[in-house]
Amino acid sequence: MKSEIEIFREFIRKKGLRNTPERETIIEEIFASHDHFDVDELYLRLKSKKKKISKPSIYRLIPYLLESGLIQEAYFEDGHLHYEHIYGHEHHCHLRCLNCGKIIEFEEKYLKKVENRLAEKYDFLVKGHKFEVLGYCPKCKAHI
């Protein structure tokens, strides 16, 4: 299995773009952790490791990471998007509390079949899915 960086280099070459140390640093940092991330948090992580990467460089890289299939939007919360890897890590879905924001991850293998069915029916090249179940967690459902 190719590494994320290899996938990215290939993608960049195919698009006729250029790779840079900044981009490799960002990708390395994203894949160093298995967690979700958002731009600001990623920026601070890089900063704390003394890597001088600007936020615009992160923002400018994200569309390419999405297009290359390395990451995917996970959910929108607290006024900004959160992303997750979809290469090399088990895909998962989210159960989210509408009150406190608590997130529980779970797997649902059946959705892969739904993807395939849709791909065929609508002639889409399906790259993944986002499945969120929304409700109130045990603590919060007591108060509403």
Partner DNA sequence: GTATGTGCAAATCATTTGCATTCTC
Partner DNA sequence: GAGAATGCAAATGATTTGCACATAC
> What are the residues binding DNA (CB under 7 A)?
12, 16-23, 38-40, 52-57, 59-61, 79-81
Size of the site for a second copy (CB under 8 A): 37
Separation in Å, CA 92 to CA 27, 35, 111 = 21, 11, 10
Report if residue 136 touches a second copy, rule: CB under 8 A: yes
Structure tokens at 69: 């299939």
Per the CB < 8 A criterion, the answer to whether 62 and 100 are in contact is no
Pick between residue 28 and residue 39 the one whose CB is nearest to a second copy.
39
C-alpha–C-alpha distance, residues 82 and 77, integer Å = 7
Report if residue 103 touches a second copy, rule: CB under 8 A: no
Element (H, E) at 58: helix 55-67
List the x/- string, 24-63, binding to a second copy by CB under 8 A. ----------------------------------------
Separation in Å, CA 127 to CA 11, 12, 59, 97 = 15, 18, 21, 27
Site residues (vs a second copy, CB under 8 A)? 66-67, 72-73, 76, 81, 95, 97-98, 104, 106, 108, 110-111, 114-115, 118-119, 122-138, 141, 144
